[in-house]
Structure 1
Amino acid sequence: MRMASKDKQGIEKNKHFVRSVEFAFQGIKTVFQEERNMRKHVLFGSLAILAGFIFQLSQIEWLWLLLAVFLVLVVEIINTIFENVVDMVTEFHFHPIGKKVKDMAAGAVLLTALFASLIGAILFLPKIYQLIFR
């Protein structure tokens, strides 16, 4: 007989796939509603995807574009997690280690956004140049 997984308080953990997916979507909805930067990332990612359709990207170009877009979204979610954990632990009071954690997480988002911008430039600038100077 299989035993249910229990946490430290003896409460059975959720093992139902559908419920897990619902919780995951709730997390994405929460970060989208509460984080202005996430909404900006979604907007810019959507514009990049629209540009991909307009410029008829190849399959490999689509893979790079989608990797860049989704990587930014995932890292923004992770950044938000770090911010929330630091705020919870410090009870919204300044702490130098908390600041370092938040700064490093923000740096990860910045690097990922720069990577996505580089991918966008590599994919779209030659196509825009060709369109203008045909």
Structure 2
Amino acid sequence: MPMDSKDKRTAKNKHFITSLEFAMQGIKTVFEEERNMRTHVCMGIVAIIIGFIFRLAVSEWLWLLLAIFLVLVTEIINTVFENVVDMVTDCHFHPIGKKVKDMAAGAVLLTTGFAIIVGMLLFVPKIWQLLQDYL
């Protein structure tokens, strides 16, 4: 029996490469469509460059990369929630939809706060030492 356009079902991906292509498309989509994701990626790149400048230790790299990737993952999850709410509400306001979006945005905010704290703990002492060496 043929499916109409309202009853499209997808089969589970049976090939790793196909799953990988879909995942990469998802990352590309969120990067292209979400300004905040582009900002988070740029700030992460800046932090990585600063990490190379200050020659972070392996343990410091682990904290820095954890913070960066947590922000990126929560931004992707936030975007998923926003899209699902918009799909379910047909882009009309709904108080529960607003709650969901606000909570997902709150998760990004908390994670970003964590990343800022990690960055400060890693870089402020190094910057302070650099300033003392030159003064």
TM-score w.r.t. the length of structure 2 is 0.91
Aligned to 1:85: 84
Aligned to 1:55: 54
Cα distance in structure 2, aligned partners of 1:75 and 1:11: 26
The root-mean-square deviation of aligned C-alpha atoms, in Å, is 1.4
Measured at CA, do residues 41 and 129 of structure 1 come closer, stay the same or move farther in structure 2, by a change above 3 Å? same
TM-score w.r.t. the length of structure 1 is 0.92
Q: How does 1:95-106 map to 2 (within 5 A)?
A: 95-106=94-105
Aligned to 2:129: 130
Cα distance in structure 1, aligned partners of 2:117 and 2:11: 46
Aligned to 2:72: 73
Moved over 6 A (4+): none
Cα distance in structure 1, aligned partners of 2:92 and 2:9: 33
Q: Which amino acid aligns with 1:124?
A: F
Cα distance in structure 1, aligned partners of 2:12 and 2:73: 25
Aligned to 1:5: none
Measure how far apart 1:11 and its partner are: 5.3
1:121 and 2:120 aligned: yes
Measured at CA, do residues 10 and 38 of structure 1 come closer, stay the same or move farther in structure 2, by a change above 3 Å? closer
Give the 3-state SS of the residue equivalent to 1:21 in structure 2: helix
Aligned to 1:37: 36
Aligned to 1:3: none
Measured at CA, do residues 72 and 11 of structure 1 come closer, stay the same or move farther in structure 2, by a change above 3 Å? closer
Percent of aligned pairs sharing the same letter? 70
Measure how far apart 1:9 and its partner are: 7.3
Q: Which amino acid aligns with 2:60?
A: E
Aligned length: 127
Give the 3-state SS of the residue equivalent to 1:133 in structure 2: helix
